[in-house]
Each structure stands twice: as structure tokens, then as C-alpha cells.
A and B are shown apart, each in its own frame.
Chain A
Amino acid sequence: MKPHRRKRLGIILFIAFGLSVAVGLTLYALSQNINMFFTPTQVAEGEVPDGQHFRIGGMVKDGSIVREDGTLSVNFVTTDFASEVPIHYVGILPDLFREGQGIVAEGIVDDRGVFQASKVLAKHDENYMSPEVKAALDASGASAENHMSLGEGGGR
């Protein structure tokens, strides 16, 4: 092999090695950081493995928000109009958090079946519905518009 060819081969091998290490590490990091998304119905049907950290999305049920006086605790219920999951959160809720609004929460279901949220997201735009929430409502066969116009979202 000519010297410059050997050098070129060396560099190509170096690049290939670097790339495969990078790809391996990337895929490992990816597999460690997947947040699954579940709908309230899936949670109610026990599809979520115990102790798994996940995201849940749905509408905040009308009349379900209970704030504890003197602390930052909030309890509310999220629903896809087929099933409901109670959520507990300590902290400051986003601006657009309110009854009848689609939200996404991140956290774990505890022993009592309450979703302990570490983060609650509501979206910027009041007309906007998160794709996750929309998927949850579609999955439960409920169209958000119908229920919102009815005011009380009480299942099918």
C-alpha cells in the first residue's frame, strides 16, 4: 500500500471508530431517556408498569381543582372523558392552567393511585391543543369540542 493510501485508510478508520462509539453512546442515552406517554384510560386499565416515570395528558375536569390553603399543594383530576386520574402537584401552575384546559403532567403514580406530578405543562395558546392531549381524547373516542361546548365533560 502506498504511504498516502495508508494514511487515508488510517483516517477513515479513525472516523469510523469515532462515529460508531458516538452512535453507540447516543443510542444508549436515548434508550435511557424515553418518557412514555399514557392516557388516563391506559392508566386506569393498568397499562403502566409500577413505579414508572411517565407523562399523562388530558383535560382538567371541571370543578376538580382543590387548593390547600397555606401551602403550594394542588389536587385536581385529569380526564379523557372515559377515565379519570387524580393528580397531586406542589408548586406553581402554569398561566394557562384551568378547568377544561388540556394539560400534560410528568410524574409517577403512587400506592394510592394518585399521580404525583413533578411538572405540569399547559400550552401557550388557549386555542391550541397539545398533540398528546388530542391523541388521548381521540383514543377515548371523545372529541374535545363536543365536551367543551357541553361544559361538563362527563364521559360518554
Chain B
Amino acid sequence: MLPELGHFALILALCLCMLLGVLPLVGAAKGDLRFMNLARPLVAGIFVFICLAYVLLTYSFAVDDFSVSYVQQHSNSLLPLRYKLTAVWGGHEGSFLLWTFMLSGWMLTVAFYSRSMPIEFVARVLAVLGLLCVGYLLFLLATSNPFDRTVPLPPADGADLNSALQDFGFIVHPPTLYMGYVGFSVVFAFAMAALLSGRLDAAWARWCRPWANVAWGILTLGIALGSWWAYYELGWGGWWAWDPVENPPLITWLFGTALIHSLAVTEKRGIFKSWTVMLAILAFAGSLLGTFITRSGLLTSVHAFATDPERGIFILGILTLSIGGSLLLYAIRAPLLRGRFGFGILSREMLLLVNNLILVVAAASVFLGTLFPMVYQAITDDLISIGPPYFNAIFVPLMSLLVLVLAIGPISRWKKTSGMYLVKQLGLVAIASVILGVLLPLLLTFEFSLSATLAVALAVWIVLAAMKDVHNKIANKKTIAAGLRSLTFSYYGMQLAHLGVAVIVIGAALTTIYSQEKSVLLGPGERTSLGAYEFEFIGAEAISGQNFRGVEVTIQVYHDGEFFKELHPERRLYIASGTPSTEMAIDAGFLRDLFVTLGEERGNDAWSMTIYVKPFVRWVWLGALMMLFAGFISAADRRYRRVAKVESTSSYMQEGDKNNSALVGEAN
């Protein structure tokens, strides 16, 4: 009964979405306030019903209702509760329900935090989101209903959640990634609303920016969590594989990064307008492409699961309609969005244009490398794949260039900056960066490496330029504290995100350059050394968990001859599905990770294993975490709530009046 209720809730949500997609738009076009005011209550209703459906599906998992096919396929009575509750997004149907749930959550947030915007605009934004939601819900109901039952004889037990997914990473990565992805739908809706109304000005950019920043921050975290998970779960010792399913989030992220910078120019200078809208469309397209690629099975990939051409074609339909429709609207309306073209060859606008150019080229080349095999196959019928060397060859130089420009941007001036000024500001910084770039890797390893020098120099370049800029800004204030207080949240957000880039540059480059690995076969009591560490194999013993059996191996690690730590990698066999899985043992550290992955027993109690020492690998995710906070900090800037503040002061005054009258009443 309850699953049917969930199904019914989705149908009701679809009906409300259809209303939301039409009425407020009509209202906004005719200036009818009643229709526009319908948008917020409709969104609340949609959220309630989708949330209900989501909770009911989770409940079916919790109580092992294997008559629901989706539950049967992705759960098992032995599965620990935390995975039962999250197995909702263990397969296609539930993932899409989660996606739609996230969208309704974002819609509700927009409905709540949009008091500072005119109702006409809010109505259009919510209506566009409603139309998207119609597409997603139709897709769910028509091709992938998670509430389908197996009748009349439900299976006794479930097939189990894919053992590779039974992990903490699975609990956090998909929801975060989806939340970030869907956040760009909001920005897209803002852009569409602007095109519809023909009003695209600095105020629009101001409304849009906090949403773009937050969505971008969450997407950054989502990607980082995926990378972290792949690192410790897949056990190949890397943190990024240029896998066709990893790439679309990155493409979205690159467009999103270009977008938040272009939005800054639109807000501050009133230019780059149509370009900003274009980027909003592209970021949104990237997010849809992500689902399309994962779900259609068109690409060869480690996680291309659940291939179903019918769904692929449906998603392609949504993709064509929404992107085609938005591009059409763009073509009609964008020519109206004329900005005054007034900035010099050397100016902050120009540097941000270069930033955008680099990011878009990077996104396009990742896109090309990801889809090229598919196109190639369609033309020649030959199967090919594009290896990481292609992506590295493109990405590393582009990002180096980007980082070079990144540090100059904040310190340069709008409209026109003289070259002499920049040299005066950054000359010393540049020299210091080169010196430290040469020295630091030398001190670390006593060996010269050109790539390490470049990476460290670039990271130092960002950090020192940021310090110089902060110093400039607070130099004429009375005290440092007063100076720091005078800087805005959005400025802090920007600098924090830029520092995050520096941290990622260090992490990504030094891990790649200085990692060591070794595959060995060790019997009990045997030792092997890697870098400054020695690893001694002690022995193996049988273990068992709630839904698996396995073997745990004990390895003692010695650092410079002294006992340092025990590591316990495992091999598991999941009972329900019979799939084997390896659990790495990792000693995580700020400066380096030790990492052991277990192979198999090869006679005489000897085990094969791969040992890694990975310096600075944590920094990759640390930098992403900084970007997450940066997104939220800059979105918290006071100027984004200017109108809202006026409103809250008035309500505060009303409260004050009440208090006064209460006092008067008491006095009486």
C-alpha cells in the first residue's frame, strides 16, 4: 500500500509541476499578481509530495519490502541499516528520484530566500524550474518508476547492494554531487527568467550570484568526495582517472567556475551579459550530460551501469528540449542584451575574459575527449578509448596558465590597469615565487624536478599575491583588525577559493611527481621497503561481518627503523551476491598517505599486495573543502540581502511597536 502511495505522490507532484510551469508564467506575462503568487505555494506542495515519495521509498528499504522490484534489486535483509537507507540511490530509478527530490529542495529554498527579488522574477524562475521538474517526473513515471511491484509472488530476499557501493563514500558522494548539479538548474532558471523578462542587469547578477556560488561550492565538494572515494575504495592509488563518468561533473564545474567569474563582471560592470547567460546554459547542459552519459551506457567506463536505450532516448529528449529551447530563447533575446564595451587591453575585465576563455577551452577539450570515442565508433565502427595522457596534456598547461592569471586578477583594476602598476605590485611576488619554487622541493627531496618547481612556484604565486592584495586593501586602516573587518564576505570567499586552488595545485602536482608504489609478494615475517618506510607482513586471519566473510592481514610499518603503525587491509566476500571486494588499509596524513591494497594468497601463506607512499594527496581534497566554504562565505555577503534587510528592519520595528504597546499595557 505504501509504495503505491509513493507512486501516487509523484503523480500529484507532476500535476502541481504542470501548474507551476504554466500559471506563474502567464501571470508574469499579463502582470496578474494572483497567478504569480501561486508559484510559492505550488513549490511547497511539490516539495511535500516528492519528499513523501522519497521517504516512502526509503521506508520500503528500511522494512525490507522486497515486493518492490527496485528494493529487491538493490537491497538484502542482511544489509546494514545505514546502507539500506542509502541504497535508495544505489540504482537508476532511485538516483533519479533523489535528483528530483534535490531539485524540489532547491526550488523550496528559492521560494524562501527570494524576498529581495520582485515577484514577477521569482514567478518566472520557479516556473522554469517547474518545467524542468515536469520533465524529470515524466521520465521517472514513464520509464523508471522505483515503486514498481513484483506480483504476485515477491522474492524472499533481495539481490543485495553492489558490494563496491557498501561504503561511507556511497553515503555522501551521490547526494552531494546531485545537490551541486541541480544547483546549476537554479542558476539556469535565473538566466531563463532574465531572458524571458528581458531584464538582465547588475541587479539580476546580484540576485543570481549567491545561488551560483553555493551550487558551485557544493559541486566542488561532490566531485572531491567522488575522487576521495575512488582513491580509497578502488585501490589503484590514484585520485582522478579521467573516467568518462568522472568527466561530466568536471565539465560542469569548469563551466560553473567560468560562470561565477563572468557573473562578477556582469554585476560590477554590467557587461558580459549574454556570455554569462550562455555559460549558465552550458553549465546546466553539462549537468544533464552527466546523467545522460551515466544512464545511457553510451560510453565505456568503469561505472557505466544499467544500460537502457529507451531511457537514454528519453533523457536525450529532455536534453534536446531544455537545451534547444533555452538556446532558441537565447538567440531571440540575447541581441537585446547590449553592454557598453569599455575596458582596456590590460584590465580586470580582460583578465577575467582570459579566465573564461581558458576554462571554456578546458571544458570543451574534456568534452571532446569524453565523447570522441562515441563519435568515432558511430563513424568507423571501431572501438577506441582516449587515455589519461590526452587529458593531462591538455589540462596541465591550461590550468598552469589559469593559475598564472588568477593571481593577477584580484590585484588589477577594473577598466584599465597600467602594466607598470602590476609590475610594481607583483614584481617582488613573482621573484619570491620563483625562488621558493626552486628551494622548497629541493629542501624536501634534495633533487631538482622541473615540474615540482613549477607547481610550487605557481602555488606560492597565488598565496603571496593574495597576501599582497589584502595588505594593499588594509594598509590605510588604523589597525589590522579594523582593516580585516572592513573587507567583505565575498572578498574573503574569493581569496579562500583562490587559496584552495593553490592547495590543490600542490596536492595534485606533488602526489603525481613524488608518489612511490611497489607490488610485492610477502610471506609471514618478510619485509619490504619503500621510501623511508619498511613494511613487515605479520600474518592473515579470518574475519566476518554482518553480511560478509573475509580475511584480514596484519602489516607492521617501520619508519626509519622504528615501529610506527599496524595496517590491516582486508579481502571480503559478500554473502548475498558472492562478490569479492578489497578493503585498502590507509594511514592518512597531512603530508603523506601510506596505502596498502591486498591481492590474493599465492601459496605458503604468502600474499600479493601493492604498497603506496603518496605525499600531499590529502591536499587535493583539502583545497576542494576550502572552495566549498568559499562558496558559502561569499554567498553570505551582506549586499545580496540588501532588500531583505529593509524588510526585516520594518518587521523588527513592528515587533518593537508591539513590545512598546505591551509595556504600555503593563503600565496601564
Given contacts A123-B302, A124-B302, contact A37 B602 (CB under 8 A): no
Contact with B along A80-110 (1 / 0, CB 8 A): 0000000000111101100000000000000
CB proximity to A under 8 Å, residues B579-621: 579-582, 597, 599-600, 602-604, 606, 608-610
With A and B bound together, what is the CA distance between A4 and B344 in angstroms?
10
CB <8 Å contact, B519 and A128: no
With A and B bound together, what is the CA distance between A25 and B602 in angstroms?
47
| Among A36, A72, A95, A121, contact of B582 (Cβ-Cβ < 8 Å) | A95
Please name the residue on chain A nearest to B390 by beta carbon. Answer: A33
| Among B345, B372, B580, contact of A10 (Cβ-Cβ < 8 Å) | B345
Q: Is B357 at the interface (CB under 8 A from chain A)?
A: yes
CB proximity to B under 8 Å, residues A6-56: 7-8, 10-11, 15, 18-19, 22, 25-26, 29-30, 32-37, 55
| Among A34, A71, A96, A126, contact of B384 (Cβ-Cβ < 8 Å) | A34
Q: Is B387 at the interface (CB under 8 A from chain A)?
A: yes
CB <8 Å contact, B372 and A30: yes
Please name the residue on chain B nearest to A4 by beta carbon. Answer: B341
Interface segment out of the listed B138-146, B361-369, B532-540, B627-635: B361-369
Q: Is A116 at the interface (CB under 8 A from chain B)?
A: no
CB proximity to B under 8 Å, residues A95-148: 95-96, 121, 123-126, 128, 130-132, 135
With A and B bound together, what is the CA distance between A36 and B385 in angstroms?
7
CB <8 Å contact, A71 and B521: yes
Please name the residue on chain B nearest to A123 by beta carbon. Answer: B302
Interface size classification for chain B: 35 or more
Specify which chain B residues have a CB less than 8 angstroms from the CB of A132 in the assembled complex: 300, 383
CB <8 Å contact, A131 and B599: no
CB <8 Å contact, B608 and A72: yes
Specify which chain A residues have a CB less than 8 angstroms from the CB of B390 in the assembled complex: 29-30, 32-33
Specify which chain B residues have a CB less than 8 angstroms from the CB of A128 in the assembled complex: 304-305
A150 CB, nearest partner CB in chain B, Å: 20
Please name the residue on chain A nearest to B578 by beta carbon. Answer: A126
CB proximity to A under 8 Å, residues B370-399: 372, 376, 382-387, 389-390, 393-394, 398
Specify which chain A residues have a CB less than 8 angstroms from the CB of B389 in the assembled complex: 29, 32-33
Q: Is A70 at the interface (CB under 8 A from chain B)?
A: yes
A59 CB, nearest partner CB in chain B, Å: 16
Q: Is B312 at the interface (CB under 8 A from chain A)?
A: no
Please name the residue on chain B nearest to A90 by beta carbon. Answer: B519
With A and B bound together, what is the CA distance between A29 and B391 in angstroms?
8
A47 CB, nearest partner CB in chain B, Å: 10
Main secondary structure of the interface of B (DSSP, over half): mixed
Specify which chain B residues have a CB less than 8 angstroms from the CB of A11 in the assembled complex: 345, 350, 353
| Among A7, A30, A92, A126, contact of B386 (Cβ-Cβ < 8 Å) | A30
Specify which chain A residues have a CB less than 8 angstroms from the CB of B45 in the assembled complex: none
With A and B bound together, what is the CA distance between A3 and B603 in angstroms?
81
With A and B bound together, what is the CA distance between A73 and B303 in angstroms?
28
A52 CB, nearest partner CB in chain B, Å: 12
CB <8 Å contact, A25 and B610: no
Q: Is B164 at the interface (CB under 8 A from chain A)?
A: yes
| Among B164, B365, B599, contact of A124 (Cβ-Cβ < 8 Å) | B164
CB <8 Å contact, B394 and A29: yes
CB <8 Å contact, A131 and B300: yes
With A and B bound together, what is the CA distance between A132 and B377 in angstroms?
11
Contact with A along B209-244 (1 / 0, CB 8 A): 000000000000000000000000000000000000
CB <8 Å contact, B579 and A8: no
With A and B bound together, what is the CA distance between A7 and B415 in angstroms?
13
Q: Is B577 at the interface (CB under 8 A from chain A)?
A: yes
With A and B bound together, what is the CA distance between A71 and B610 in angstroms?
13
A8 CB, nearest partner CB in chain B, Å: 6
Q: Is B162 at the interface (CB under 8 A from chain A)?
A: yes
CB <8 Å contact, B385 and A30: no
With A and B bound together, what is the CA distance between A92 and B302 in angstroms?
18
Specify which chain B residues have a CB less than 8 angstroms from the CB of A123 in the assembled complex: 302
With A and B bound together, what is the CA distance between A4 and B376 in angstroms?
44
Specify which chain A residues have a CB less than 8 angstroms from the CB of B164 in the assembled complex: 95, 124-125
With A and B bound together, what is the CA distance between A11 and B364 in angstroms?
21
| Among A22, A70, A71, A92, contact of B597 (Cβ-Cβ < 8 Å) | A92
B295 CB, nearest partner CB in chain A, Å: 14
Given contacts A29-B394, A124-B162, contact A131 B304 (CB under 8 A): yes
With A and B bound together, what is the CA distance between A124 and B234 in angstroms?
9
CB <8 Å contact, B341 and A37: no
With A and B bound together, what is the CA distance between A130 and B603 in angstroms?
32
B355 CB, nearest partner CB in chain A, Å: 12
With A and B bound together, what is the CA distance between A37 and B380 in angstroms?
12
Please name the residue on chain A nearest to B523 by beta carbon. Answer: A70
CB <8 Å contact, A35 and B384: yes
A136 CB, nearest partner CB in chain B, Å: 9
With A and B bound together, what is the CA distance between A29 and B580 in angstroms?
38
Q: Which of A71, A123, A124, A132 has the most CB of B within 10 A?
A: A124
With A and B bound together, what is the CA distance between A34 and B361 in angstroms?
20
With A and B bound together, what is the CA distance between A124 and B307 in angstroms?
14
Given contacts A36-B384, A70-B602, A70-B603, contact A126 B577 (CB under 8 A): yes
| Among B299, B376, B394, B520, contact of A25 (Cβ-Cβ < 8 Å) | B394
- The 3 A-B residue pairs whose C-beta atoms are closest, nearest first, are A33-B390, A37-B383, A92-B599
**Interface of A with B (CB < 8 Å)?**
4, 7-8, 10-11, 15, 18-19, 22, 25-26, 29-30, 32-37, 55, 67, 69-72, 90-93, 95-96, 121, 123-126, 128, 130-132, 135
* Sample of 18 further A-B pairs with CB below 8 A, known A7-B341, A95-B580, A131-B300: A7-B345, A26-B361, A26-B364, A33-B390, A35-B385, A35-B387, A70-B521, A72-B519, A92-B600, A92-B608, A92-B610, A93-B599, A96-B580, A126-B577, A126-B579, A131-B304, A131-B307, A132-B300
A-B contact pairs, 7 of them (CB 8 A): A4-B342, A25-B394, A26-B365, A69-B603, A70-B606, A91-B610, A128-B305
